[in-house]
Amino acid sequence: MFAALGHALMMSFAMFWQILWALILGFSLSAVVQAVVSKEEMSRLLPDDSPRTIAVASGLGAASSSCSYAAVALTRSMFRKGANFTAVIAFQFASTNLVVELGVLLAVLMGWQFTLAEFTGGPLMIIILVLLIKVFITPAIVEKARHQADKGLEGRMEGHVGMDMSLHEGTIWQRISSNKGRTAISHYFLMDWASTWLDIGGGLLIAGALAAWMPQSVWQAFFLHGHPVLAKFWGPLVGPAVAILSFVCSVGNVPLAAVLWNGGISFGGVVAFLFADLIILPILNIYRRYYGLKISLLLLALFYASMSVAALVVEYVFGALRLIPEQRHVEIAEATIRWNYTTVLNIAFLVFALLLVIRFLRTGGPAMLRMMNTRSDCRNHTMHHHGHTM
């Protein structure tokens, strides 16, 4: 028993070591973007559901944090401030499916084809979802959702919404290189880690356990690996269901996606699984609190349909272009820690992360983190400690 547990833990740590530098790089780039993009302007920029506004919403989402809980909370906040419901839903999906850290992790752990699939299928999924919302979400339903949202019931990571530390003056480089800019970057960097470490850790532990303990034959039977034609339809259909039950969201579902791919799920099934981080059970419960039970169930159905259809399209398009990897060679089972380029990159990026942590500690960062989960009436303020320097 202890040997099996040790094997699973070692595999989890090996996967973590394999993607560590990519995590630091992704969160660093995300922090830089958040430092120069203001949350205050987002609601004003999303007044309707026109194609231009949906494109703006997707761009703003891609520039925001990858934390699924923070994305859901920010979406509700913008909706309450008057932003269009369809537009904020598009923002929400872009903020977890089109962010740079997800693409980097997919490329490192699974291959560039999966990154391309994510960034190709993501916009397609948003388009399909917008069309479904226009058909099934009536103005009366939106008003009911707004009435429930205005009750202000708390979800998770609510504090992430009220902390706008972005800069507005000067060129982008001047904002990044200034003392306030470096402080904001360090704070966003640590805030994103604090938002997602449970999901990342949970995803690694689940992936390690499944890779170590679940026989390949079981996976292959479940994913209809011996029936290629049926598997192409079954994968996108069942992928979101697996995600719902995994409880793992944000970038933490990438290691588990690698295990599913090795187990025999179709290419489109992997894409659908990755899309489904916004319909895991804890987030579905938050939708219930934010918008009401009936509306949350309707959203689940529309989200699920858009994910599955977009993933199925990706399956066939990538198949026609011969972009689907022929071998399932994500070497998570044999991963070991040795002196190679991964170790060198990890050391270099850990040094960089340490510099951000030091600045974070010296500029009021711990106090800011303590406010991330406080009630909304205690956290809506401007972070005055940007002026502190190292």
Q: DSSP for 64-102?
A: S---HHHHHHHHHHHHHTT--HHHHHHHHHHHHHS-HHH
Label residue 377 by pLDDT band (50, 70, 90).
very low
> Taking 90 as the threshold, does the pLDDT of residue 40 lie above it?
no
385 or 4: which carries more pLDDT confidence?
A: 4
Residues 163, 293: contact at Cβ < 8 Å? Answer: no
- Predicted confidence at residue 89, as pLDDT, reads 96
> Taking 80 as the threshold, does the pLDDT of residue 4 lie above it?
no
Label residue 338 by pLDDT band (50, 70, 90).
confident
357 or 173: which carries more pLDDT confidence?
A: 357
Q: Which amino acid is at 75?
A: T
275 or 205: which carries more pLDDT confidence?
A: 275
- Distance from the Cα of residue 113 to its chain's centroid: 18
106 or 377: which carries more pLDDT confidence?
A: 106
Per residue in 94-129, pLDDT tens? 988 998 888 888 988 888 999 999 999 999 999 999
- For 28: left if phi > 0, alpha if psi spans -120 to 50, otherwise beta; the answer is alpha
- Predicted confidence at residue 275, as pLDDT, reads 95
> Taking 80 as the threshold, does the pLDDT of residue 145 lie above it?
yes
Mean pLDDT of 222-249: 89
- Predicted confidence at residue 390, as pLDDT, reads 43
Per residue in 77-98, pLDDT tens? 889 888 999 999 999 999 889 9
* CA dihedral of 167, 169, 175, 181, whole degrees rounded to 10: -40
Instruction: List Cβ neighbours of 130 (8 Å cut-off, separation of 6 or more).
Output: 49, 54, 86, 89, 90
- Predicted confidence at residue 329, as pLDDT, reads 64
Per residue in 289-312, pLDDT tens? 899 999 999 999 999 999 999 999
How far apart CA 47 and CA 204 sit, in angstroms, is: 39
- Predicted confidence at residue 384, as pLDDT, reads 42
How far CA 99 is from CA of 73, 102, 378, in Å, comes to 17, 6, 29
Query: 158, 152, 141, 71: which is closest to 297 by C-alpha?
Result: 141
Label residue 241 by pLDDT band (50, 70, 90).
very high
Six-digit token pair at 10?
A: 């070692």
- Predicted confidence at residue 340, as pLDDT, reads 77
- Predicted confidence at residue 68, as pLDDT, reads 81
Instruction: List Cβ neighbours of 302 (8 Å cut-off, separation of 6 or more).
Output: 129, 132, 133, 136, 137
Residues 272, 232: contact at Cβ < 8 Å? Answer: no
How far apart CA 326 and CA 308 sit, in angstroms, is: 22
Q: Which amino acid is at 264?
A: G
Mean pLDDT of 124-153: 93
- Predicted confidence at residue 123, as pLDDT, reads 97
Count of domains in the chain? 1
- Predicted confidence at residue 258, as pLDDT, reads 87
- State the pTM of this model: 0.79
Range of the domain at 322: 2-387
- Predicted confidence at residue 14, as pLDDT, reads 78
Query: 387, 375, 354, 346: which is closest to 20 by C-alpha?
Result: 346
Angle (CA) 44 49 55, round 5°: 80
Per residue in 343-370, pLDDT tens? 898 999 999 999 999 999 999 888 877 7
- Predicted confidence at residue 94, as pLDDT, reads 93
- Residues of the chain above pLDDT 70, percent: 87
> Taking 60 as the threshold, does the pLDDT of residue 175 lie above it?
yes
3-state secondary structure of 167: coil
